[in-house]
Amino acid sequence: MAIAELHLRPDAPPAPLALANTALFLDLDGTLAPIAARPQDVTPDPRRTGILETLLGALGGRLAVVSGRTLADVDRILEGRIPAVAAVHGLVRRDASGEVDQAIPHPALPRALSDLRRFAAAHPGLLVEDKQVSATLHYRGAPDQAAAARAEAERIATATGLTLQAGDMVWELRTPGATKGDSVAAFLAHPPFAGAKPVFVGDDLTDEDGFKAAQALGGFGVLVGPARTTAARLRLDSVDAALAWLEAAR
């Protein structure tokens, strides 16, 4: 079977990624690193850092990490090796030259954080994260509170006008603004990404905007994890499979 045909079969393992004229956009948690119980439990990994450094050089700088994490947290985990990063789902973006563009935090964020912290204090196992331009409620430590966490996040979103975004056992109240898909388009508008074919690799619902943007701009998405309804054209089973696929890129 030809490589081109493999790229039309979401049930087949992807052929090795061809790096020529490719711009690579990578989610972090669930894609490059296993999901951890707490965000701070994800730490640097020599293999992951080495793969990314090799790809960055082979792609001539056309690699960006597009994550829900803060910029500081992405740099912590990736040891500051990746210049181009879209953080907090695109609300903060650092281009390949190091220039940072950040959304102005919504004025209702302090209220949202206060409400979330009060809610979490009454429900052991919940974790609240302040990302400056968003407020996040993690319920991985208390999965039995999923319905209550959703109801509280929806209530706050309705009361404040913040954008409610679902993730992997998380609800996020975001300053309205850029998405991961918008970040892909913004990177592709400037060197070294301009003119390249985008490939977006991600695992959860927040990555669907990235998959759709890559497809619309002449590339494709790659889902990491179990099969589900998705805009991605290809799928890899796990973080380990994703890292192995990236290692095999030529």
pLDDT tens readout for residues 16-67: 999 999 999 999 999 999 999 899 999 999 999 999 999 999 999 999 999 9
The per-residue pLDDT for range 184-193, each reduced to its tens digit, is: 999 999 999 9
- Look at residue 2 in the predicted model and tell me its pLDDT: 30
For residue 5, what are its two tokens?
């045909």
- Look at residue 6 in the predicted model and tell me its pLDDT: 32
Out of 27, 182, 207, 209, pick the active-site residue: 27
Q: Do β-strands 100-102 and 234-236 pair in parallel, antiparallel, or remain unpaired?
A: unpaired
Element (H, E) at 179: none
Domains of the chain from N-terminus onward? 16-103+178-247 (3.40.50.1000), 109-174 (3.30.70.1020)
145 Cβ neighbours under 8 A, 6+ residues apart? 123, 125, 126, 139
- In whole angstroms, what is the distance from residue 148 CA to residue 123 CA? 9
In sequence order, what are the beta bridge partners of 236?
Answer: 224
Torsion of CA 172, 177, 180, 183, to 10 degrees: -150
- In whole angstroms, what is the distance from residue 221 CA to residue 200 CA? 5
User: Does the active-site annotation cover 27?
Assistant: yes
Cα 24–28–31 angle (5° rounding)?
80
CB 212 within 8 A of CB 181: yes
DSSP string, 117-131: HHHHHTSTT-EEEE-
- In whole angstroms, what is the distance from residue 185 CA to residue 198 CA? 9
- In whole angstroms, what is the distance from residue 29 CA to residue 27 CA? 6
- Look at residue 176 in the predicted model and tell me its pLDDT: 97
Q: Which residues of the chain have pLDDT under 70?
A: 1-13
For the chain, what is the mean pLDDT? 94
